[in-house]
Amino acid sequence: MPTFDLLLRNGTLVNQDGVGRADVGVLHGRIAAIGDLATADAAEELDATGLHVLPGVIDTQVHFREPGLEHKEDLATGTAAAILGGVTAIFEMPNTKPGTTTAADLEEKLRRAQGRAFCDYAFFMGATAANARDLGELERLPGCAGVKIFMGSSTGDLLVEDDEAILEVLRHGSRRVAVHCEDEARLRERRHLAEEGRPETHPVWRDEQTAFLATERLLRLARQAGRRVHVLHVTTQEELQLLAASKEIATMEVTPQHLTLRAPAIYEKIGTLAQMNPPIRSGRHQEALWLALRGGVVDVIGSDHAPHTLEEKARPYPRSPSGMPGVQTLLPILLDHVHHGRLTLQRLVDLTSAGPARVFGLAGKGRLAVGYDADFSVVDLAAKRTISNHLQASRCGWTPFDGWEVQGWPVATIVRGTLVAYEGEITHAPVGAPVRFAEALPRG
């Protein structure tokens, strides 16, 4: 009779081979068996009757603000929000203070995460003109998610805007490079269009052409360098046409915010809380995102969790900072889209588990399979809940989805075989460890 550390019984598994009832046995943090395990024993059991068991959701774009900006968020509060939202691993961005641009910076983040992170983690290395030639070595360090380029200024001072500098970055290294695509020259030219006290002018200032020009340039330079790229938080219909014709070299991400919130209504409703880069845009662009998602052009959904305090957000636009929290609401918002028929459950899994594994080359994560890490997001598709500010574990304490009623909710979060969150409560001390990447495994 097999004995496991953890046994998930009677759940409906959503996996690369379809949807169906099965038990899952976990041993030493990895999946040891899938099937009918009615006669098996386990040290711990979770009855998943009536629930769906997904491969652990991986949020590949978060800003957890540590070090230097911990009044907004830190690695403990950010990862707590993650597991309460059903997220089992995160990739954190480099625009902290100081930015993550050296091996010592990465080592410091890894040190801070040890014993404090509730989910697994990896950290992006920020590209600069100064560290371009070192990026081939830096991207292979343990715990590094890859390289991140900011083509347009957002939050922080990491900026690589001219073609020569971008090409220099792309020519050093081999892993896929994540890129924030906004054209810095056009942002400077149009800065006067951001009208005092009018956040609804944010998408006028940072218009469609600002995003399109940067993405067009990036694709040209990526082909010139022969380097794979990943375009973050795509927002425009025009970019989608370019990216659909560039799948040999480019993958892409969209966010739940851009799939769900629309201009100008959201700016009228919540003002600067809706301010992010690139901006929330009109229905024309949102409809194009959904069309691209259904057509398979979209590879990944990430939250772009970028918290600021309510006091900071209350500054008159455009002195208010751009960014909004999202790691805890990513899965509930997407499950609600599943409920309304906009998204299938299998496509959700592809965008939040299999997609991240495919794009970033994860080792042992992203699907329900024997030998893989025992990461599970267990959800109740029938549960009706209201998203609210007071439920948010993020230090910023708010969400743009405050008051939204959704159907579909994360019930349990399991990280490498440990139940870390259940029914809205954190159930275990931090167990997070660095994510492993196939292209950066130690050389023998």
**What is the pLDDT, as a whole number, of residue 233?**
98
Both 295 and 326 in one domain: the answer is yes
Four-CA torsion 35, 36, 40, 45, nearest 10 degrees: 70
Both 355 and 431 in one domain: the answer is no
Both 39 and 85 in one domain: the answer is no
In a domain, 365, yes or no: no
**What is the pLDDT, as a whole number, of residue 2?**
74
Spell out, as residue ranges, where the chain has pLDDT lower than 50: 155-156
**What is the pLDDT, as a whole number, of residue 442?**
82
Query: For the chain, give me the number of helices (H) and strands (E)?
Result: 15, 17
Both 180 and 261 in one domain: the answer is yes
| Residue ending a domain, choose from 328, 360, 392 | 360
Residue 222 backbone dihedrals phi, psi, to 5 degrees: -65, -40
DSSP state of 405: E
Both 19 and 66 in one domain: the answer is no
Both 327 and 195 in one domain: the answer is yes
Both 67 and 46 in one domain: the answer is no
DSSP of 47-88, one letter per residue? E-TT-EEEEPEEEEEE---TTT-TTT--HHHHHHHHHHTTEE
In a domain, 197, yes or no: yes
Backbone angle region of 186, left / alpha / beta, with phi > 0 → left and psi within -120 to 50 → alpha: alpha
CATH number at residue 431: 2.30.40.10
Q: How far, CA to CA in Å, does 411 sit from each of 89, 334, 423?
A: 17, 15, 5
| Residue ending a domain, choose from 298, 329, 360 | 360
- The amino acid at 343: L
Q: Which two tokens stand for residue 275?
A: 């301010």
**What is the pLDDT, as a whole number, of residue 155?**
47
| Residue ending a domain, choose from 360, 395, 414 | 360
In a domain, 388, yes or no: no
> Could you tell me the residue range of the domain that residue 156 belongs to?
56-360
In a domain, 170, yes or no: yes
CATH number at residue 265: 3.20.20.140
Is 304 a residue of the active site?
A: yes
Distance CA 189, CA 415 (A): 47
- Which residue in 304, 336, 375, 380 is the catalytic one? 304
In a domain, 366, yes or no: no
CA 241 to chain centre: 23
DSSP of 111-170, one letter per residue? HHHTTT-SSEEEEEEEP-TTTGGGHHHHTTSTTEEEEEEESS--SSS----SHHHHHHHH
Task: From 214, 255, 213, 248, select the one nearest 232 (Cα to Cα).
Answer: 255
Q: Which two tokens stand for residue 282?
A: 């009109």
**What is the pLDDT, as a whole number, of residue 153?**
59
In a domain, 367, yes or no: no
Q: Which H/E stretch holds residue 253?
A: strand 250-254
Q: How many domains does the chain have?
A: 2
CB 121 within 8 A of CB 367: no
Q: Can you tell me whether residue 8 is helix, strand or coil?
A: strand
Both 322 and 345 in one domain: the answer is yes
Both 63 and 49 in one domain: the answer is no
In a domain, 390, yes or no: no
Both 203 and 240 in one domain: the answer is yes
Both 45 and 72 in one domain: the answer is no
Query: pLDDT (tens digit, 9 = 90+) per residue, 331-371?
Result: 999 999 999 999 999 999 999 999 999 999 999 999 999 99
In a domain, 433, yes or no: yes
Both 424 and 350 in one domain: the answer is no
Q: How far, CA to CA in Å, does 111 sit from each of 245, 258, 415?
A: 41, 34, 20
